[in-house]
Structure formats: C-alpha cells, structure tokens
Amino acid sequence: MQSPAIPLPPRAEYHRSHQLVVEARGLITLARDLMAQSRQSLAHQRFLRVVCAWCQRPMGWERRD
C-alpha cells in the first residue's frame, strides 16, 4: 500500500517561511543580549532594605546610588 502524496508548498512560500525563521532567530538573539545587559545593570545597582525602627518589619527597598 502506497502512502498518499503530500503536496509541497510553492517555492515562494517556502522561501518566505525561511526568511521569517531567520528574522525570528535574529530577534531572539537581540532579546537575549538585551536581557543580559539588563541583568548586568541590575547586578551593579545597590539597594538598601528599609526596616521600621519600631517594629523591625521590612517596609521595602530603597535604591542607593
């Protein structure tokens, strides 16, 4: 028993889908680079934990320059 023939998409559609994949990979690489830069920027910032002087409960964080 033969399997039914699978119709192939036109060459232009194949080329366009290939272009979209290449562009998407480029955008993913760019996004990864931006995320790495953001992580490095956050790592270099310093924060102080703000604590209530009376009850010693944490109230939040304050950025220190």
Q: Which residue has the tokens 């690489």?
A: 29
Q: How do residues 30-40 score in pLDDT, each as one tens digit?
A: 999 999 999 99
What total number of domains does the chain contain? 1
Whether 50 is covered by a domain: the verdict is yes
Residue 4 lies in a domain: no
Report, as an integer, the average pLDDT of 3-8.
Answer: 76
Question: For position 41, what pLDDT does the model report?
Answer: 85
> What pLDDT band is residue 12 in, cutting at 50, 70 and 90?
confident
Please give the C-alpha separations between residue 31 and each of 21, 34, 63, in angstroms, as whole numbers: 15, 5, 26
**DSSP single-letter state for residue 54:** T
The domain of 57 spans 12-64
37 found inside a domain: yes
Q: Do the domain assignments include residue 30?
A: yes
Mean pLDDT of the chain: 87
- In this prediction, residue 65 carries a pLDDT of 65
